[in-house]
Amino acid sequence: MFLNSIKQFSTIVQNHVNVNHILSQSVKSIQVRNYAARKGTRDRKAKKKVKAEVVKVGFVPHNQRNKLKLLAQREPLKFDDSWKRNPTDDVYVAKYYKWVVYPFAEAVKCHQETHSPEMYNKPNANLHVTIELNMQGEKKTRFVDNFTSVVKVPYNFDHGEERTIVVFSKNPDEQNEAITAGATLSGGSDLIKQIQNGDVSLQDFQYCIAHPNILPELVQLRGLMKKKFPNPKMGTLDVNLGKVVDKFLNGVKYQAVKDDYEKEFGCIKTVIGSLDMDIKHLEENFSVLINDVNSMKPRRPGTFIDRCILWSPPSQEVLKVDHAVFLKELNSKGSQNVFEKQEDYDKEEEEEKGERVAL
């Protein structure tokens, strides 16, 4: 009814007169625009509106909801007792002072004492080492990735693990050499075919080692091997197969693991020998391991290895050892190298920048 009356009214009023002027306030709400909107207005407005994506979160158990909050409250894993005082007396309560830093030989002797036949009676117990790392990369927000490696130590020991190794080579002599060194299986193109057929499973082997002469044929197995595929960086692609097999069979295996929350804290736990070995042999094993770990140090000033702890179950004692002594040679050179490298790095960066500007 009402609209009809408006229509009638507008027919009465002449066309050139604006209807809105005459109509009352309530009628103005149905305003009609007689001119076009500017081009692209709607598109612009649509672009401005950013759709907030609703991320669906599944059910989180109540005890895990404030996990980050709880982790933030946690005491930092990085050990720091620099605020504690040095002991002055010959007898003292250890917890009120800085940790005792034993020379390596003395720490081993301490463990040998606790494991002597008169006390724990386990003189052949394994000697474990915990290496705490500062995983800080070249920049504050960058961190060293988790890394795994096997080090050849000068004095072998029984690590108690069963390590299975498969070796590929075209030369039958080299295959035999690998087998005598202790490889589980070795072969050439036949073995590759067997693996492709499914007669031999790669799942049964922890390490795959290859001679460069068989590499073109081995490429077919890349999909099956995935990360195990031999490469020179890991040391699994080598000419001297006997040595490599020996390294992977008897070497010290270690894995540096970063903490999920405290990213700059990394930790390695491994075995370097048994307590009944000669202390000097243990020391050399330790030295080799430490230097191998330190080779992963990123190009930044400061130390990579924070602390080394020797422990040996069933005793619960943990003894901090002075590892810096073993790094000394590498350190004095390394620190220089680090600066040189740093400088090179800066130069490279500058050059890069320069190129960009030129472009």
The pair of structure tokens assigned to 109 is 């002797």
C-beta of 102: minimal distance to another protein in Å? 11
- Distance, in Å, from the CA atom of 247 to the CA atom of 238, rounded to the nearest integer, reads 12
C-beta of 54: minimal distance to another protein in Å? 45
C-beta of 297: minimal distance to another protein in Å? 33
Give CA angle at 294 (290, 300), nearest 5°. Answer: 155
> Of 37, 54, 72, 94, which lies in the binding site for another protein, with binding defined by CB under 8 A?
94
Stretch that binds another protein, among 20-28, 75-83, 189-197, 311-319 (CB under 8 A): 311-319
- Distance, in Å, from the CA atom of 79 to the CA atom of 235, rounded to the nearest integer, reads 33
- Distance, in Å, from the CA atom of 201 to the CA atom of 185, rounded to the nearest integer, reads 11
Stretch that binds another protein, among 92-100, 133-141, 277-285, 297-305 (CB under 8 A): 92-100
Q: How many residues does the chain have?
A: 359
* 79 binding another protein? (CB under 8 A): no
* 24 binding another protein? (CB under 8 A): no
User: Shortest CA distance to 165 belongs to which of 147, 143, 186, 148?
Assistant: 186
- Distance, in Å, from the CA atom of 261 to the CA atom of 301, rounded to the nearest integer, reads 23
* 120 binding another protein? (CB under 8 A): yes
Stretch that binds another protein, among 66-74, 108-116, 149-157, 194-202 (CB under 8 A): 108-116
C-beta of 267: minimal distance to another protein in Å? 23
Stretch that binds another protein, among 44-52, 228-236, 312-320, 329-337 (CB under 8 A): 312-320
* 320 binding another protein? (CB under 8 A): no
C-beta of 133: minimal distance to another protein in Å? 26
Q: Residue 106: in which H helix or E strand, if any?
A: helix 104-114
DSSP string across 118-164: TTT--TT-EEEEEEEEE-B-SSTT-BPPPEEEEE--SS---------
> Of 79, 92, 339, 345, which lies in the binding site for another protein, with binding defined by CB under 8 A?
92
> Of 107, 108, 122, 289, which lies in the binding site for another protein, with binding defined by CB under 8 A?
122
Contact 286, 131 (CB under 8 A): no
C-beta of 124: minimal distance to another protein in Å? 11
C-beta of 91: minimal distance to another protein in Å? 4
- Distance, in Å, from the CA atom of 187 to the CA atom of 171, rounded to the nearest integer, reads 9
Binding residues for another protein (CB under 8 A): 87-95, 100, 110, 113-114, 117-122, 314-317
